[in-house]
Structure 1
Amino acid sequence: MMSGLVLVSQVGLLALVVLLGLRMLALARSQPLTTNPFTKGHSAFQKPLRPARQMTAEDRTALYTQLHILAGLQERECRVNGIELKDAPEPVRSYAAAWLYGAACALCDQHSRHSEALEGMVSQIASRKTGIRQSHAVQAMATLTSSSALLACFRGGLEGAGFWQKHHHVSPRHSLYEAITTNAFI
């Protein structure tokens, strides 16, 4: 009885190995090799370049919803701690836009980062939540590296949104309030 079970298992495994080999052969024939790693100028370790993927309507809606929720939570935290973003000076609202842009970059897929569509979405939400003009929000995003304060706020948004995705809240260390109060004289 036991030897019969072992024999059936061995035959089954042999059949699976043969099926795997046939499947690999069929896949190899259906998808021809597009680049020859031995031709001049190509490396076997190079990844083929893929065109940038456009955000689908579903991706855009999900990201917009997440950003709106995150911006609302951060705007509320600022208000509770005494900073009314809509009444804040223009540089403070720029810091908030930079923070939100960092958060957006953390929440979207890598191919959509630093795109015009993402900047437009962030500037629209920043305008609603902070009262900053969309053109000023876009300018703050475009000039992140010109100001250490904007860059620090951007990084705070990256880290805050990353933390938010895992823990469903923003660490006080990476919050918008902390980024603003650390980088502005309020």
Structure 2
Amino acid sequence: MSENRLPHEKGFHISWDQIHRDSRALAWRLDGKGPDNGDWRAVVAITRGGMAPAMIVSRELDIRTVDTISVMSYHAGGGAANERREAKVLKSPDSELMGDGTGVLIIDDLVDSGKTLELVRKLYPNAHFATVYAKPEGEPMVDTFITGVSQDTWIFFPWDMALQYVEPYRGA
């Protein structure tokens, strides 16, 4: 591997099929683990990345109550840890639904530094936090995840990608 590659060039590319399979695996891991005889009251997606996994989890577990929380912690287009803003809530889920979070699954695509989940966990301390992918710095903030990746890996999600030619790793 080239020593002068940019951090985002250590990429993990996720296809639509892969995010679907991994989100279903997350649902299976969460099945029967809710506090109400194994059931969950609701799913809350952390927008925007958590929306596709939350939809799949809610479908697989037949959870009809779905809401969102919008948290912003990155500059547009992502950014290195030293370029991130302080996380803030832009849109909250229904307060009657949420309470302290008991029986609610909060779903995101990825936990990276853990700052987003840390903020949401303060608001809903009894919710269950689940992500499809997790990096080591953020793992303490998540209760359930499917795949761990290294902190220096950049995950390319299908909703961020377009199909195009890519040079071979060792050159043309």
What's the TM-score, normalizing by structure 1? 0.29
Higher relative contact order (CA 8 A, sep 6+): 2
The structure where helix makes up a greater share of residues is 1
The structure where strand makes up a greater share of residues is 2
Q: Which has the larger radius of gyration?
A: 1
What's the TM-score, normalizing by structure 2? 0.30
